[in-house]
Structure 1
Amino acid sequence: MADSSPERPQADKDDVLELNNDLEKMTECVENMSVQLTWMAYDLVALRTSPELGALLRGLEEAYHRCRAAVCGDRSQEPELEDRAQI
């Protein structure tokens, strides 16, 4: 009985070290998958978003500002609109 007692803490220490190594490997794998998924999502958005869409949205925003200025008066009378455009 006295022989098994000193070996047990060593066996537990080895098990803990092995568990830590396994957890580190799993964490690294999950991090790699996360990076790959992020790049896939980025590529998907980049491929599906056409450059024309951005130009059309900017044109639409400019048209909105012109219409707003025509309806509400001169832009200098609406500092709130200028503040939003800078954000």
Structure 2
Amino acid sequence: MAESESQKGNYYNRGKMVENFETDMEELLEEMEKLTVRATWMAYDCVAIQTNPDLCNALQHLEDVFLMCKEQMEKKWQEVLLE
């Protein structure tokens, strides 16, 4: 009797392990898909920048303007906090 109960416990544990393994594998697969998409976009961006130098300049200008805007927003926020 004790053997059959321990066997049931072993089967249950194995079933849980398989279920956990499947869940972990699904999560890893999703992460790999996300990384693949990101790598594809990075490669696309590299090709686009190499074939169109104006794009690189436009992106640099956009980044500069963004940083200036961010700096101004931080200054304004500090002024609001001090009032």
**TM-score, normalising length: structure 2:** 0.57
Structure 1's unaligned 5+ residue stretches are 52-87
Identity among equivalent positions (%) equals: 33
The partner residue of 1:50 within 52, 71, 80 is 52
Output the CA distance in 1 between the equivalents of 2:30 and 2:43. Answer: 20
- The partner residue of 2:38 within 36, 42, 47 is 36
Cα RMSD of the aligned pairs, angstroms, is 1.7
Aligned partner of 2:8 in structure 1 is 6
The ranges of structure 1 where at least 4 consecutive aligned residues each deviate by more than 3 angstroms after the TM superposition are none
Q: Measure, in 2, the Cα distance between the counterparts of 1:25 and 1:45.
A: 31
TM-score (norm 1): 0.55
Q: Which has the larger radius of gyration?
A: 1
State the shift of 1:18 in Å.
Answer: 0.1
Tell me the matched-pair count.
52
Q: Which has the higher helix share?
A: 2
Structure 2: gaps spanning 5 or more residues: 54-83
Q: Deviations over 1:9-68 (max 9, x none)?
A: 1111100000000000100010000000000000000011027xxxxxxxxxxxxxxxxx
SS class of match (2:4): coil
